[in-house]
Amino acid sequence: MQQPTRRKGRAWRRIVITLLVLVVLVVGGWFLVARPILHGIAESQINQVATSGINQMLPFPPFVRTPSIAVTETGLNNLIVLNHAPSDPVQNAVVHITQPIIASDGSNTGGVRFDFQLYGFACSITGIPMASNGDIVMTHVQVQGILWWVMSPDEMTSIFNSRFHDAIVRLQRQVTSVTTKNQEIDIQFN
């Protein structure tokens, strides 16, 4: 009678060990293979769209004194529509700009919010643009939806800041201030 009990114990151990091995393989496969591949694809798509927009910018003429630009919500949404193919994995992209509010505990609301669907799943990226050392930098970045599995807020911040730097270099001026209002961002250059 002891043999059936021993066999039962061995069977349960084998099942538990098999499940543990499967979990380790799936988690390891995600972090070592799937996530890096998907991260590369997402970063490539973001850079492609940003490069297209940056290439459309014209440098400020040297004789223009203290230029400023008002970037509107409508202008950004039109730019997205013009640089977006119907076959892209990102669909229904819309930018919302509201005045940012940063609470004393560090939480925030407002700023720039980019809502879109990625392969049919709702996603959003939010952040607050600010001027820093002549560049525009994005702070308080949050990533929501399935994109969060592929791109962390720190990675997204790095991409944004790199692309903003490229845009500022293209304009051949330094940013002195960024003011985010409802439906508009005012950028002051030196």
Encode pLDDT of 70-98 as tens digits: 999 999 898 888 877 788 888 888 999 99
Per the rule left: phi > 0, alpha: psi between -120 and 50, beta: everything else, 119 is left
Q: Which residues pair with 137 in a beta bridge?
A: 130
- Whole-model pTM: value is 0.80
CA-wise closest residue to 178 among 137, 127, 126: 137
